[in-house]
Structure 1
Amino acid sequence: MMSRRASARVRAATAMLAAAVVAVGCGSSGAPAGAESSTLVAYTGASGDFQINFNPFAPSNLGGGGTIFQPLFFYNVLRDADPTPRLGTEFAWNEDGTQLSITLRDGVTWSDGEKFTAADVVFTLDMITKHKGMNNTGYAGRAEAVDDTHVTIAFDRPSFLDGPSVLGKTYIVPEHKWKDIADPAVAVVKDPVGTGPYVLDEFKPQAFTFKANPTYWGGEPAVKKVRYLSLSGNQAGAAALKAGQIDWQTGPVPDIKDVGKTYPGYQSTITHANQIVLVTCSSAALGCQGPQTDPAVRQAIYHAIDRTQTNALAFENTSSDISPSFLLPGRDDALLSDKLQNKTAPMRPDQAKAQQILESAGYAKGPDGIYAKDGTPVALTLSVVAGWTDYITAVDTIGQQLQQAGIKLTPQQVSWNEFVDSRDRGAFQLIIDSLYQGPAPDPYYLYNFFYSTAQTAAVGAKPGPNVSRFSDPQVDQALDALKLLNPTDTTARQPHLDTIQTRIEQAMPYIPVLTQGTVNVYHEAKFTGWPTKDDLYASPAAWAHPDNAEVFMRLRPTGK
């Protein structure tokens, strides 16, 4: 974090950065007067050069989900509400959950003028089934076009829980553009064609711009351009925000509790959905190496963390409690298992308990104060993305806390590309990241993403979201059972949720830190219609998709 008392040098740097942002952001010198008043500049925390790719299924995609490529419906994971029609207008399940019928919006065209039909939906779903790397939810349906505006999807077994993924998180792509792509899971898409409210306008390594789609079926958006910047990190983002050169930023900024005074014309919304974790490469059987493959080491780390101190020093006390079950406190309280040892992770450390866990597992403290077993010390490397100042502070703070418990932690700052590469290959011991929610407000999705054997792979091979390489037959069986049940049958579901919660609390491949307070700062003086704590019609995070498209379509420039 920048100092709360900005020095003259910081103020000078702010002015220089503001000039740089203006240079990147103003577009052509021939832009009409007032054009910038309807251009929204967003910063998601990106650092380094952008690598062009608007493939919504590729891990390295830059965005476009919701803005360029649309889902059938929009699901709001922050509140329990009916999904909003997008490319679809209606859907219905048969009684046993083996057939999903969807009615599509008529009169929609792709941004190149071609007609959108049910054939595009069937093509997209078939493509996902043929390419495992695209199928992060285990979708196993068989889609069929009844006519141009109706699709049916048949399943071999009850599949109610596939609904939100198919309907809300599958971005429909044009068959006529994608049918000849050999490997769509990783293909680089430089010239995206979609049905959404925006199209790609300009791409540069430090900034790319979307412009309003004049033929969008819902009407051309009032926000005419959206420009995404890449800066050097959180401090640069805060400086640009201070200079008034960013309209929407998600990430830590100094003095967030007094945002209106610190950043005149701006307001903030803080949400609690993503859960900060220390991701461990946990499975020795799948090739992970290091002390973190021992559950006792992971449990010791869990008890040695001072979450109160970490929240204060790294997150300005904007984060909140986290449950080792990874249910969201508040939203999921009714589903919390009474068999858990801790309903929420302790906010204060218990060094004695951490040491007792290690000693019971055969570790002994060496003369340097670090525990070791069979000659191998509990010495670990924890990777964090360079420029993520809040996470960097958290890593440094946690390292000092673990030292007191006899665990050595070495922070390592890496670029985003290095971070993703080592994470996907399993070439890490610990990384700090967050677990995200699924397509609907149901914990099943997070469990299926991050704890299912089907979503992981051996070290060296690319996994799905389960980058910890965690695999547990009991968790897999419980997930399979949940998928067969109607999500409204809470009584039948609870025993399976109990199994998952207790097993992951014991194994702890993702060590809970805090439920992140996602800080979103927005330019209220320049645009109206932002999601607020009283009206969270979509996630207010600039990087959230397809939520950000919902926000862009609600905003109205004030002309300032």
Structure 2
Amino acid sequence: MLAAIAATTLVTGCGSSDSGSAADSTLVAYTGQSGDYQINFNPFSSSTMEGPGTIFEPLFFYNITQDAKPVPLLGTDFAWNADGTQLLVTLRSNVKFSDGTPFTAKDVAFTLDMVAKNKTINTTGYDGQAVATDDTHVRITFSKPAFMQGAQVLGKTFIVPQHLWSKIPDPANDVIAQPVGTGPFVLEEFKPQAFTFKANPGYWGGEPAVKRIRYLALAGNQSGADALASKQIDWQTGPVPEIKNVSKNYPGYQAITVPMNQMNLTTCSNAALGCTGPQTDPAVRKAIYYAINRTQLNALAFEDTASDISPGFTLLGRDAKYVSPKLRERLAPKAPDLARSTGLLQGAGYAKGPDGVFAKDGKPLELTVQVPSGWTDYITAITTMAQQLQPAGIKLTAQQVSYNEWADARVRGRFQLLIDAMNQGPSADPFYDYNYYFSTETTAKVGESAYPNYSRYSDAEVDAALNAVKGIDSTDAAKRQPYFDVVQTRAEQDMPYIPILTGGTTSEYHSAKFTGWPAKDNLYAFPAVWSRPDQAQIYKTLKPAGQ
């Protein structure tokens, strides 16, 4: 594998070294892709390979690691009216798409209207009406207060060119093989084993100092670690052996770990929407929750880089002030409680068989967990949890599949359990996780595309609470908290997502080749190669060493 990588980089002139050659302005990235890429640069697709942020830009950049003012991108200013029903946006002038066509407010209005009309890509329930009042101003009107739609509209809606996308009959499923955007990079070459972006010379912010970004497909985490050791990649987000000794074991590299993504066993939980299997019973889900030894799991699977998680899925640390006092448990237990796990199953009508596995109606309590092959930390986590659950009478089996199979199963609900993590929303606010993963608006029947409420969870009380928060200014914490309490307590009670740990997202980066990486005292963006549009902010900031 490494020999193939080396040959590829030599042929294309994209090798990674400290030699001071012209190739030093090329950054080689590994996102964790195991197996060949399938071309997809659609920024609205849940299986897009890349493009959001790098090729297609939002109006502003919101830093999800901290509560900070949004950074102007295609937009320069915005303002709400008093009741949150109208959002006025001022746009940057003299911006062009990469094909030379001028960018105007009409492109913004077109993009927003396209999202509103397509349920598949309207993942957050956007229901505004956008009008271009002139070339640099957009007025977005809502039928009711919509403060909480602001960060999604401004920070996570990637603007596309009307002159091209108006001709696309199915914008949700078109793979956009020849992407055109306003971003700092453009597509140079695509092959299933690797694809390359090059710096956009006409970028409104100036051509980036990183002249090329080459994304490699490898065989998984171990291949990523091996490639890192041989300096064949410059940035990856994923585990490596002895994570605390990266600078020693990988000379020229450093690592950074940021607690951000809440790892969970996502369950296809809702029988009413077509889910089948024992995981549709809340008692089974909670029995699994109490049988996990999280201290042991952290040590064996995550090198103790993970941290506590709340069963209400409020991000600890950044959003600790919002953790509900009405939760039965503020934190998921670190040690297993087998008595409680057993009691839950017995109360739900399960009885332990002679083989030690609980069963009900003649069916043993056996569950499969889907995981992308090559994701060694998650595979180790499932293997560890399977051993931990044996004394609780629950049989858990890892089902390794390709990333593309895993992603498709996740979207369509064709799974019992899968291991995943909740990504944070467009800004540093817990509302977005709640709205993404627990709202009826963001899910669908099994067989249809759901995004990102993959568990198919639906609860009228939660929906009402989320709708109420949308009409409250985000600065009014006291007014929002009662509604947050509802969401968190229902999440704990129903547990459609079984909390594991808060993942310490670790990236290893080539500090001897590029300068300007995020640091703990300067987290200007979330430092994960797969986080969009954070990755674009980082690419724009980096400079080859010596420049």
Counterpart Cα distance in 2 of 1:93 and 1:173: 24
User: Which one-letter code corresponds to 1:222 in the other structure?
Assistant: A
1:135 to 118, 122, 141: 122
Alpha-carbon separation, structure 2, partners of 1:464 and 1:60: 11
CA RMSD of aligned residues (A): 1.4
The 5 Å alignment of 1:385-400 reads: 385-400=372-387
For 1:160 and 1:30, locate their aligned partners in 2 and report how far apart those are by CA, in whole Å.
45
- CA contact 1:324–1:504 (8 Å) conserved in 2: yes
What 5-or-longer segments of structure 1 have no aligned partner? 1-16
Q: Aligned partners of 2:449 and 2:190: how far apart in 1?
A: 28
CA deviation map 1:173-211 (0-9, x unaligned): 001111110010111111111111110011111110100
Q: Is 1:77 aligned to residue 64 of structure 2?
A: yes
Deviations 1:1-37 (A, max 9, x none): xxxxxxxxxxxxxxxx443222222454699992211
Partner of 1:14: none
Q: Are 2:521 and 1:534 equivalent residues in the alignment?
A: yes
Distance 1:94 1:153, change over 3 A: same
Counterpart check, 1:365 vs 2:352: yes
Partner of 1:553: 540
Equivalent pair of 1:26/1:36 in contact (CA under 8 Å)? no
Contact 1:70 1:195 in 2 (8 A): yes
Match for 2:430: what amino acid? P
Deviations 1:413-441 (A, max 9, x none): 11112112222222211111111110011
Cα deviation code 1:447-498 (max 9, x no counterpart): 1111111111111111121111111111111111111111111121111111
Task: Find the aligned partners of 1:505 and 1:117 in 2 and give their Cα distance.
Answer: 46
SS at match of 1:214: coil
CA–CA distance in structure 1, aligned partners of residues 198 and 517 of structure 2: 19
**Equivalent residues of 1:53, 1:190 under 8 A apart:** yes
Alignment CA distance shift 1:76-1:281 (3 Å) = same
The reply to whether residue 240 of structure 1 matches residue 224 of structure 2 is no
Match of 1:212 in 2: 199
1:43/1:30 Cα in 2 relative to 1: closer, same or farther (>3 Å)? Answer: closer
- Of 188, 193, 196, 2:183 maps to 196
Q: Deviations over 1:21-78 (max 9, x none)?
A: 2222245469999221100000010011111111111122111111111000000010
Per-residue deviation, 1:527: 0.4
- Which residue is 2:6 aligned to? 22
The C-alpha deviation readout for 1:61-107, integer Å capped at 9, x for no partner, is 11111111100000001011000000000000011111100000011
CA distance in 2, matches of 1:539, 1:420: 23
CA contact (8 A) 2:13 2:23 kept: no
Partner Cα distance (1:55, 1:285) in 2: 31
SS in structure 1 of the partner of residue 400 of structure 2: strand
Which of 286, 294, 298 aligns to 1:311? It is 298
Percent of matched pairs sharing the same residue:
62
- Superimposed CA distance per residue, residues 275-323 of structure 1 (whole angstroms, 9 cap, x where no aligned partner): 1100111011111111111100001000000111111111111111011
Q: What is the aligned length?
A: 544
Q: Is the 8 A contact 1:202 1:208 kept in 2?
A: yes
Residue 8 of structure 1 corresponds to: none
The change in CA–CA distance for 1:26 and 1:101 in structure 2 (over 3 A counts) is: farther
**How far is the alpha carbon of 1:330 from its aligned partner?**
1.3
Q: Which structure 2 residues correspond to residues 44-443 of structure 1 after superposition, within 5 A?
A: 44-443=31-430
The 8 Å contact of residues 241 and 263 in structure 1, kept in 2 or not, is answered as yes
Shift of 1:270: 0.3
Secondary structure in structure 2 of the residue aligned to 1:132: coil
After TM superposition, the score normalised by the length of structure 2 is 0.98
Range with bigger deviation, 147-156 or 377-386: 377-386
Superposed counterparts of 1:508-519, under 5 Å: 508-519=495-506
The range that moved more, 159-168 or 453-462, is 453-462
For the 8 Å contact 1:34–1:559, the answer to whether it is kept is no
Q: Which deviates more from structure 2 when the two are superposed, residues 291-300 or residues 58-67?
A: 58-67
Q: List alignment gaps of at least 5 residues for structure 2.
A: none
Are the aligned partners of 2:97 and 2:180 in contact in 1 as well (CA < 8 Å)?
yes
The whole-number CA distance in structure 1 between the counterparts of 2:213 and 2:337 is 48
Q: What amino acid is the match of 2:456?
A: R
CA distance in 1, matches of 2:80, 2:502: 34
Deviation at 1:116?
0.5
Distance 2:3 2:348 in 1: 58
Amino acid at match of 1:540: P
Question: C-alpha displacement at 1:333, in angstroms?
Answer: 1.6
Question: Once the two structures are superposed, what CA deviation does each residue of 1:378-416 show, in whole Å capped at 9, x if it has no partner?
Answer: 111111111000000000000010111011112111111
Of 497, 500, 509, the residue aligned with 1:522 is: 509
8 Å Cα contact 2:77-2:90 kept in structure 1: yes
SS at match of 1:58: coil
Q: 1:455 aligns with which of 429, 442, 446?
A: 442
Distance in 2 (CA, whole Å) between partners of 1:126 and 1:220 is 31
